[in-house]
């Protein structure tokens, strides 16, 4: 049995590593979900086979509750697995991963409940389920059908574990802030709240009331422009005459624009009509990046 939040992460890393996944580190930009990591969004496109797993800190500014809600956080961790093509026994692989973190199927009721996934900002969608363990949603399970408006072929299977939620379930904790972060028998045992409560309070205030709207709006426009500018460069690098399509740098700016949009949304300054407009602007960036990726050697 795992004894702490970090132990669960280790066990998942070990398990998926033993399956043969590339174990990556979190992407170094602010994202709303593990899906945004280029290891998923971009690698889901094209023909090449790919298996990877990684932890991704995810930010959802509107979900901030000043660290006072037992379940909601504006910054949390997802564990993300991407398997392309989706293997025949993907469900069994997933269930085995739950076993390794201590979920015993003799006493727990696992259910795959329809939940189709769609990311309007990424122009992506897939079919799948949310996975329930005794009525608690512990993962999201998706077969990618399209990313950036482009059909996925082969199809990638994506598994997303809500790490805090799973840890609370496995360790029997009701409030996320009470989760043991490291081994409770350590010299200095720390709880999740010891690590993150302060930051939750600070970000909640900033997200909701203080973030500079004008600055963010300016950033959004700049990021959009930069993404397009990168993609409009000639494919041949004049320095060395090689073809270098700068997909990932461009995609970075798409991610940045998406995050700034989320911040603006949590400031409550985006009207519903404008919302649609912002979403479609980010989607256009994602689509351009997807198209560029397909043209590049990896695609």
Q: 213-231 and 272-295 are packed helices; what angle lies between their axes, rounded to 10 degrees?
A: 30
The stretch near other proteins (CB under 8 A) out of 28-36, 100-108, 197-205, 254-262 is 100-108
Does residue 91 touch other proteins according to CB under 8 A? Answer: yes
* In contact, 42 and 289? CB cutoff 8 Å: yes
- Pick the binder of other proteins from 20, 28, 135, 188 (CB under 8 A): 135
Range list of H helices, the chain: 5-19, 38-41, 90-100, 163-171, 192-205, 213-231, 247-266, 272-295
Task: Please report whether residue 193 would count as binding other proteins according to CB under 8 A.
Answer: no
Give the gyration radius of the chain's Cα atoms.
20
Residue 61 interacting with other proteins (CB under 8 A)? no
* 192 contacts 5 by C-beta, under 8 angstroms: yes
Bridge partners (DSSP) listed for residue 207: none
**Between 116 and 225, whose beta carbon lies closer to other proteins?**
116
Q: Is 60 in the site for other proteins (CB under 8 A)?
A: no
Q: Is 169 in the site for other proteins (CB under 8 A)?
A: yes
Segment interacting with other proteins, rule: CB under 8 A, options 53-61, 134-142, 203-211, 234-242: 134-142
Applying CB under 8 A, which part among 24-32, 125-133, 191-199, 257-265 lies near other proteins? 125-133
47-50's contacts with Cβ under 8 Å and 24+ in sequence apart are 47/153, 47/154, 47/299, 48/84, 48/298, 49/84, 49/85, 49/154, 50/22, 50/82, 50/84, 50/156
**Cβ 14 to other proteins shortest distance, Å:** 24
Q: Is 18 in the site for other proteins (CB under 8 A)?
A: no
Q: Does 20 bind other proteins (CB under 8 A)?
A: no
The stretch among 225-233, 235-243, 266-274, 290-298 that binds other proteins (CB under 8 A) is 266-274
254 and 231 Cβ atoms separated by less than 8 Å? no
106 binds other proteins (CB under 8 A): yes
Tokens coding 284? 């256009």
Q: How far is the CB of 209 from other proteins (least distance, A)?
A: 17
Alpha carbons within 13 angstroms on the beta-carbon side of residue 144 total 33
Of residues 165 and 190, the one with the C-beta less far from other proteins: 165
Element (H, E) at 80: strand 75-84
Q: Examine residue 120 and tell whether it contacts other proteins (CB under 8 A).
A: no
- Secondary structure class of 204 (helix, strand, coil): helix
CB nearer other proteins, residue 129 or residue 192:
129
Residue 162 within binding range of other proteins, rule CB under 8 A: no
Q: Which of 32, 34, 67, 157 binds other proteins (CB under 8 A)?
A: 157
Could you list the residues that contact other proteins (CB under 8 A)?
69-71, 85-88, 91, 105-114, 116, 126-129, 133-136, 143, 145, 153-155, 157, 169, 174, 271-273, 276
């Amino acid at each position: 049995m795992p004894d702490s939040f970090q132990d669960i992460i280790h066990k998942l890393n070990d398990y998926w590593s033993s399956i043969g996944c590339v174990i990556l580190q979190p992407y170094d930009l602010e994202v709303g979900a593990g899906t945004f990591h280029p290891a998923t969004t971009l690698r889901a496109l094209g023909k090449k086979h790919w298996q990877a797993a990684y932890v991704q800190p995810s930010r959802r500014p509107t979900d901030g509750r000043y660290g006072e809600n037992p379940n909601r956080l504006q910054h949390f961790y997802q564990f993300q697995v991407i398997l392309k093509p989706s293997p025949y026994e993907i469900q069994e692989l997933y269930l085995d991963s739950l076993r390794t973190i201590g979920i015993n199927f003799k006493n727990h009721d696992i259910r795959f409940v329809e939940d189709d996934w769609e990311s309007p900002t990424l122009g992506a969608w897939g079919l799948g389920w949310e996975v329930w363990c005794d009525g608690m949603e512990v993962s999201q399970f998706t077969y990618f059908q399209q990313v950036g408006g482009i059909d996925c072929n082969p199809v990638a299977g994506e598994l997303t574990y809500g790490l805090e939620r799973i840890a609370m379930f496995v360790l029997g904790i009701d409030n996320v802030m009470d989760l043991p972060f490291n081994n409770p028998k350590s010299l200095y045992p720390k709880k999740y709240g010891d690590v993150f409560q302060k930051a939750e309070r600070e970000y909640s205030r900033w997200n909701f009331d203080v973030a500079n709207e004008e600055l963010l709006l300016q950033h959004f426009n700049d990021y959009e422009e930069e993404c397009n500018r990168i993609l409009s460069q000639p494919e041949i690098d004049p320095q060395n005459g090689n073809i270098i399509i700068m997909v990932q740098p461009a995609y970075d700016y798409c991610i940045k624009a998406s995050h700034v949009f989320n911040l603006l949304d949590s400031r409550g300054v985006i009207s519903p009509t404008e919302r649609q407009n912002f979403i479609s602007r980010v989607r256009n960036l994602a689509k351009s990046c997807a198209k560029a990726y397909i043209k590049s050697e990896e695609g």
